[in-house]
Structure formats: C-alpha cells, structure tokens
Amino acid sequence: MNLKSLRLTSLALAAAAFAFAAQAADYPVSSVRLLVPANPGGSTDVNARLFAEYFQRHSNASVAVVNQAAGGGVVAAQTLATGPKDGSMLYVWHAALHTTNEFGQSPFPYTAFTPLATTADYNDVYAVRADAPYSTVPELVEYARANPGQVTVGSQLGGTTQIKGDALNKAADGAMRIVDAGGESDRITALLGEQVDVISMSVANAKQYVESGQMKVLAVINKNPDPFVPEWPTTASQGVDISFPLVFTIYGPGEMDPQAVEAFKAVLEEMKADPEYAEALEKASQVPSIRGPEETAEFLKEELEFVQSLID
C-alpha cells in the first residue's frame, strides 16, 4: 500500500470511528445489569440479549444479562425493587408482570417500577388439531356454545396464557373449560395427545406444526396481522375483540433517577434509528415495537385494564 492509499484508509477509519462515537449516547453508568425473569433460550431471553447488544452499541455502557427465573419472575422483580436507581439495573418482562400480581403470585404491580420502553411484540395463536371440526374462532365459539363443557382450553394458570384462554371462553359465554396444561411444550403435547382441544402458542412454534399437518391455526391473537405469516387471519379480522401479543417491556426501579431516564431515552432513540436492531428482532420472529417511557406508561395502563377486565 502506498503512502497516499494509507492516508486515505486512515482518514476513512477515523471518519467511521467519529461517526460511531457520534451515535453513542452518554449513559451515567459504565455497566448495566439487565434482569430476565426467565431461563436462557426462550423468547424473553432472546429479546433481552438483543436489547443488551444494541444498547452497548449505542451507549458507553456494557450490559450483562442476568437470568433470574425463580419464583415465576418474583425474584427478579425483588432484585429490581431493591436495586440502585442510577440506571445500572434494568428489567425486561411482559404482561406476566400483571398476571402474577393480579392472581396474587407476586406483590409487585408494574407501577412499582419505572416504565422505560417496549421493544417488540411476540405473537401467539389459537391452535387446534388438524382434524378439529372448526377452523375459525367464530366456528369454535359456536361449537362450544352448542356443546357446553366439551371444549377444553389448555393454559398455564396464573400466566398470560390463562388470560388468552379466559378471553376465548368469555367470547363463548363461558361454555369452555380452562385447565392447567403447563408451559408451551407441555401444552403442545397435551393438544396432540387429545388431552385438550385448544391452546395458545407462539407463531414461531405453530408454523412447524401447521406445515407438518398436525395442527391448524384459528387466528393470530392480535388486531394486526403477523408479518411472518400474513396469510393467517387475526382475531380482529374474524370480528373477535381479543388482541393480546406478548410485548417485551423494559423497566427501571421505582423512582429511578430522572437524569438516568433521560439518558436511557437518548440511547433508545439511537437504537430505534438503527435498522440492524429491527432486522435482528425480526430474525428472532419478533415484531419491532419501540415506545419511549411516556408511551410505554400509557400502553401498560391499557394492557393492565385488559387483563383486569377478564379476571373480573
């Protein structure tokens, strides 16, 4: 390489470094612990690790993901509640924060913390066996009403899937039975083993069972189509007023330092403008849905009201 080329290369590298530095927002602490109330490998953990990666890219802070699955999320919530308020401890979870509190399994409502952001939606579907005598939610509701007590919905009691089951049962005027069938893998086994008739499950997992001819999807549980399977109908498109995607939400501790909140917002804006972050979420079958602190607080209020309407 001649001297002129070397100089040009050095200038290009310096310009790239300057551009990256210009995009790195100043954060008040050098390291952040991101608490995840779930085991490694699941959708929440994947979301947290992507958030951590891109938060690091767009700030001067390093982020360590800490999995604390014990107690159905209560242990992680307790850690956050007693943690520092300077922005060095954050927490990612979804509507299970509402359900565990409403069902008396956790003492922490979302208002115990500082809402900071939502990052992505992760859609579920209502799925049945391929030989079921109904292919849409209205057909299922009609069948259940005509055969009260015969349709069994497999849910995980106390979790978000119970709310999805309760919402479906409410549409059928209480003609279905809701039973505890465990986590998603257990619910799939129960459905294929004819122990239950309907389950909610993730779009990502449902695709393989539909393709193999073992299941059919009645609807995506959202008012908006899922971009990964736009051909699947939504509940709303069938005239059913149920929309309840898992929305991954970032929280800080209660009464978080306002300066740290403002610094977080600056980092989030950089992440939102980064197309690679959106692409990474989409590769994980998650729909980018970024809200700032004010929008997130309003969204959580509405999300809780939906949960409470079904529990009541």
Q: For the segment 174-191, what is each residue's pLDDT rounded down to a tens digit?
A: 999 999 999 899 999 999
- Give the pLDDT confidence score for residue 290 in this predicted structure: 98
**In CATH terms, are 29-122+245-311 and 124-238 the same topology?**
yes
Rounded Cα–Cα distance for residues 175 and 144 (Å): 6
Q: What is the largest CA-CA distance in the chain?
A: 84
- What value does the mean pLDDT take over residues 5-19? 45
Q: What is the pLDDT of residue 312?
A: 61
Total residues belonging to the chain: 312
What does the pLDDT read at residue 23? 57
Mean pLDDT of the chain: 92
**Nearest residue to 124 (alpha-carbon basis) of 200, 226, 236:** 200
Check residue 159 and give its pLDDT: 87
Provide the token pair at 136.
């849409």
Contact 292, 265 (CB under 8 A): yes
- Each residue's pLDDT tens digit, 37-75: 998 988 999 999 999 999 999 999 999 999 999 887 899
The CATH code of the domain at 124-238 is: 3.40.190.10
Is 215 exposed, middle or buried (CB count within 10 Å of its CB: 0-12, 13-18, 19+)? buried
Place 4 in a pLDDT band, splitting at 50, 70 and 90: very low
Is the pLDDT assigned to residue 270 strictly greater than 80? yes
Give percent of the chain above pLDDT 70. Answer: 92
Identify the CATH homologous superfamily for domain 29-122+245-311: Bordetella uptake gene, domain 1 (3.40.190.150)
Which percentage of the chain shows pLDDT scores above 90? 86
**Tens digit of each residue's pLDDT (9 = 90 or more) over 191-238:** 999 999 999 999 999 999 999 999 999 999 999 999 999 999 999 999
pLDDT number for residue 311: 81
Which has the minimum average pLDDT: 83-87, 153-157, 259-263, 274-278?
Answer: 153-157
What pLDDT does 15 receive?
A: 45
Going from the C-alpha of 140 to that of each of 127, 145, 192, 218, 259, the distances in angstroms are 11, 9, 18, 9, 51
Q: Environment class of residue 18 by beta-carbon count within 10 Å: exposed (0-12), middle (13-18) or buried (19+)?
A: exposed
Domain map of the chain by residue range? 29-122+245-311, 124-238
pLDDT higher than 70, residue 127: yes
Chain segment 83-110, per-residue pLDDT in tens? 999 999 999 999 999 999 999 999 999 9
Alpha-helical regions (H) of 28-171: 43-57, 74-81, 96-102, 137-146, 160-171
User: Can you give the pLDDT at residue 106?
Assistant: 93
Q: What does the alpha-carbon distance between residue 213 and residue 259 come to, in Å, rounded to a whole number?
A: 54
- pLDDT score of 189: 97
pLDDT at 25: 73
Comparing C-alpha atoms, which of 247, 242, 248 is closest to residue 126?
A: 242
DSSP H or E segment with residue 291 = strand 287-291
